[in-house]
Amino acid sequence: MTNPESVVFLTAVLPQFVDRGAGHATARMLVLGLAGALLQLLSDGVRGLTAATARDWPGRSPRRAAVIGDAGGLAMIGLGASVAFTVRAE
């Protein structure tokens, strides 16, 4: 939440969801801001745990790591061949 762009965005968006006539506008803004921060924390936490699990997955099996390496090599060869044999349209 230290990104200035997100602060400007939230400053512009959050007030649209607060009814000033209902009272306690400041408290409602705080609740909306805290709810957003909590959802962001949970989302980033799940993403981080998923990434940590996925990072270790290829190394658990030497065969799996070899297959992933071979697939990556074939993809690079295929992309290189497509670049080499592509005719530039003029």
pLDDT band at 74 (very low <50, low <70, confident <90, very high): very high
In this structure, are residues 18 and 28 in contact, taking their beta carbons and an 8 Å threshold?
A: yes
Neighbours of 77 (CB within 10 A): 10
Structure confidence at residue 44 (pLDDT): 92
Q: What percent of the chain has pLDDT over 70?
A: 98
The band of 76, judged by pLDDT with boundaries at 50, 70 and 90, is very high
Residues 6+ positions from 29 with CB-CB distance below 8 Å: 14, 15, 18
Residues with Cβ within 8 Å of 10's Cβ and at least 6 positions away in sequence, in order, are 33, 36
